[in-house]
Amino acid sequence: MITREFADRFAQEWIDAWNGHDLDRVLSHYADDFEMSSPYIAQIAGEPSGMLKGKPAVAAYWTHALEQMPTLHFELHSTLLGENSLVIYYRNARGMTTEVFFFGPNGLVVQASAHYA
């Protein structure tokens, strides 16, 4: 079960890592073979399924995305708890966004999905 303390700490650290444009710090939250889905994966990474698997593939996608958005900044609004998951609700340049994170037994993200307004 995800605790409130873990969720709040994870969310703030995740937001801070993105706002610092520190991709290694962002990726430290994820398992090596995690899966990421986003509607922007097809557009930015050219993957029509909208899904990527593994740190190398996601890192390449996020590196390209950060190059396209050099002023990227996230503002945390709330964190929602689940059994082995959490949702971060935040604002970015495109508006309100959520990211859903599913965690493995080691406390790292094994699956994530981004949703945009």
Mean pLDDT by 10 residues, the chain (117 residues): 94 98 97 97 92 97 92 97 97 95 96 96
Amino acid 47: pLDDT: 93
Q: What phi-psi label fits residue 53: left (phi over 0), alpha (psi between -120 and 50 degrees) or beta?
A: beta
- Give the per-residue pLDDT at 44: 87
**Predicted pLDDT of residue 43:** 87
d(CA 92, CA 100): 16
Q: What is d(CA 87, CA 81) in angstroms, rounded to the nearest whole number?
A: 7
* pLDDT value at residue 1: 81
